[in-house]
Amino acid sequence: MKRANKISAIILLVVMAGCGERSKQSTDDFITIDVTKGFPKKELILQDFMDVEYIALETTDNFLCQGIVAAIGEEVIIVVNQILDGDIFIFDRTGKGLRKINRRGQGPEEYVFVTGYILDEENGELFINDVTSKILVYDLYGNFKRSIHKGGNYSKIYNFDRENLICDDVFSGNDGEATDRPSFVIISKQDGSIVNNIQIPFKQKITTTVMSKFTIDDSGSRIITPLGYPSINLYQNSFILTEPSSDTIFRLLPNYSMLPFMVRVPSVQSMDPEVFLFTGILTDRYCFIQTVKKEIEFATRQVPRTNLMYDMYENTIFEYTVYNGDFSTKKPVNMSNATLNVEIAFCQKIESYELVESYKKGELQGRLKDIAAELDEESNPVIMIVKNKK
């Protein structure tokens, strides 16, 4: 097993506050966020700092879908349904339907319940992260190629390079004790063997599952909420790794060296209830982040979340709202998801019936207006593709 740079990375992590240390560093080295502070509010227009493209997915009897973008490459868009029926739709980048795949089943070459899709367009492969102990690999026509045994419970998987995947392990020490089990691993695309372990140290494992009991009636209903978050994110030529039990979010470079990217204060280990810090979309200028309090509000039964934006040019932090400038009405855009790939920051579907209604009201402009003019309420969703400005 290769363990390149593992010892030096662990030493760096310990020194740089992985276990709750809060020694002051230069802001040139990393970003510091106080998760307890309030910040001024700011509104942004998406098109002012990102390039936006719209693709209308072809609608035919064989290509009716709910428009959830699972993966996207230079030539194809992988779309699935929210109902998780096993259908995988492959469109080209103009929105033309190419083929539909469904390999759901109980057989050795089939997936049971999909938790993630990884497109390796360079190798012509689609990796299916199944709820079972396997990752199944198909070509882009749905032909089975191989299965990879998972050494952990991987909730997030990305292409690391041509030969390997990077994965998180969501059950690395969920018993509340420190563990030697790595938070992240690099595995071979061919057989799943571990190429490198990426361990982020912390004092004590903190679960991100929120459990609350409400007694507004005799039943005393109980709510259990797992906090989904981008544990692996992309930033330029590197990966941003988030272990919620650590006070430091790290940047992993292609040569396995790690640098501190963002440090939160106060230490998560000192808080009750904890306030977590997660990254969202990361651009050349803006880091969109989110603080999440580990509790459920009684009135809304929701977990409190605050959307923040760090401006790396101005070294300032705001509580933000981003709007889509192609709507005359204020249409918010979700910036809390992980970046898709090196080319595309994120995709967002827009329901056709919403566009038809907005078009009739005269609320659209530009290319989106032209697309909406050709839609009806039963059309497939339109995909908004968002990239960093060139």
Average pLDDT over residues 224-229: 78
User: One-letter amino acid identity for 315?
Assistant: N
pLDDT at 201: 83
The answer, yes or no, to whether residue 215 has pLDDT greater than 60, is no
Percentage, residues of the chain above pLDDT 90: 74
Q: What is the overall mean pLDDT for the chain?
A: 88
DSSP symbols for 66-105: --EEEEE-SSEEEEE-TT--S-EEEEETTS-EEEEE--BS
Average pLDDT over residues 54-60: 97
The answer, yes or no, to whether residue 179 has pLDDT greater than 90, is no
Name, of 11-15, 28-32, 64-68, 181-185, the range with top average pLDDT: 64-68
Gap between the Cα atoms of 187 and 375, Å rounded: 44
Helix (H) or strand (E) holding 9: helix 6-15
Q: Single out the residue of 116, 125, 171 nearest to residue 338, CA to CA.
A: 116
The model's confidence at residue 316, banded by pLDDT at 50, 70 and 90, is very high
The model's confidence at residue 11, banded by pLDDT at 50, 70 and 90, is very low
Report yes or no on 276 lying in a domain.
Answer: yes
Report yes or no on 372 lying in a domain.
Answer: yes
Average pLDDT over residues 25-48: 87
DSSP symbols for 172-210: TTTTSS--SS-SEEEEETTT--EEEEE----SS----EE
pLDDT at 14: 38
pLDDT at 180: 64
Which CATH number belongs to the domain containing residue 271 in this structure? 2.130.10
pLDDT at 50: 97
Report yes or no on 284 lying in a domain.
Answer: yes
Report yes or no on 142 lying in a domain.
Answer: yes
Q: What is the sign, positive or negative, of the torsion defined by CA atoms of 4, 198, 283, 363?
A: positive
pLDDT at 169: 84
Q: Single out the residue of 161, 104, 151, 155 nearest to residue 129, CA to CA.
A: 155
Comparing 12-16, 113-117, 345-349, the range with the smallest average pLDDT is: 12-16
Helices 366-373 and 352-360: crossing angle in degrees, nearest 10, is: 100
- Counting every residue written for the chain, the total comes to 390
The answer, yes or no, to whether residue 136 has pLDDT greater than 90, is yes
How confident is the model over 317-371, as pLDDT tens digits?
Answer: 999 999 999 999 999 999 998 999 889 999 999 999 999 999 999 999 999 999 9
Report yes or no on 1 lying in a domain.
Answer: no
pLDDT at 211: 77
Average pLDDT over residues 2-19: 39
Q: Single out the residue of 99, 73, 76, 77 nearest to residue 87, CA to CA.
A: 99
Domain containing residue 94: 6-388
Report yes or no on 159 lying in a domain.
Answer: yes
Report yes or no on 129 lying in a domain.
Answer: yes
Q: Single out the residue of 57, 54, 87, 93 nearest to residue 73, CA to CA.
A: 93
How confident is the model over 255-304, as pLDDT tens digits?
Answer: 999 999 999 999 999 999 999 999 999 999 999 999 999 998 878 888 99
Classify 342 as helix, strand or coil: coil
Report yes or no on 76 lying in a domain.
Answer: yes
pLDDT at 266: 98
pLDDT at 13: 41
Gap between the Cα atoms of 41 and 85, Å rounded: 41
pLDDT at 15: 38
Comparing 63-72, 84-93, 170-179, 216-225, the range with the smallest average pLDDT is: 170-179
Number of compact structural domains in the chain: 1
pLDDT at 144: 98
